[in-house]
Amino acid sequence: MNHVDLLPVPPMDTATDPVHSASDLRQRWRALMGPLGFDQRLLWFGFVGTDRRLIKALSQIAMNPRPKGRILKNLMSALRTTLDDFQPGVTVAFLLTGPGRGPISQADRIWAKSLADMAERFAVPL
């Protein structure tokens, strides 16, 4: 647990404040998710506009314990196609959620690396 975990969940109306850092993005996700509990592992994704604010549309997919190449390829291909419809400068934001509390797990790190690697391969800006 770190100092951010000890802070109260930010108000929902801060969820679309500008994102300038990973810490900012974490706070935006915290505002959106609040005290929700999750009974399954989910990968959430949304878009950050050129104004650096989260676009008010999120999607989610159920996660396997380990990343599956075919699923990640299909996701990144779809995200790349969607990004092509936006103006340049729009990026993608991911959030991994699951049951329980605690620090980032090794499985989370594997997922994060797999997402980042596949995003780079498909030219999906994060």
For the ranges 14-18, 79-83, 101-105, 109-113, the lowest mean pLDDT is seen at: 101-105
d(Cα 77, Cα 79) in Å, to the nearest integer?
Answer: 5
Residue 126 within any structural domain of the chain: no
Residue 92 within any structural domain of the chain: yes
Predicted pLDDT of residue 17: 86
Predicted pLDDT of residue 36: 66
For the ranges 1-10, 46-55, 90-99, the lowest mean pLDDT is seen at: 1-10
Residue 30 within any structural domain of the chain: yes
- Nearest CA to 94 among 40, 37, 54, 65? 54
Q: Is the distance from CB of 16 to CB of 28 less than 8 angstroms?
A: yes
Does 40 score more than 90 pLDDT?
no
Look up tokens 């396997």; give the residue.
64
N-to-C CA span, the chain: 25
pTM for the model: 0.80
Total of domains in the chain = 1
What average pLDDT does range 44-59 have in this prediction? 92
Residue 59 within any structural domain of the chain: yes
Residue 46 within any structural domain of the chain: yes
Predicted pLDDT of residue 101: 73
Residue 93, domain extent: 3-121
Report in angstroms the alpha-carbon separations of 113 from 57, 66, 72.
24, 11, 12
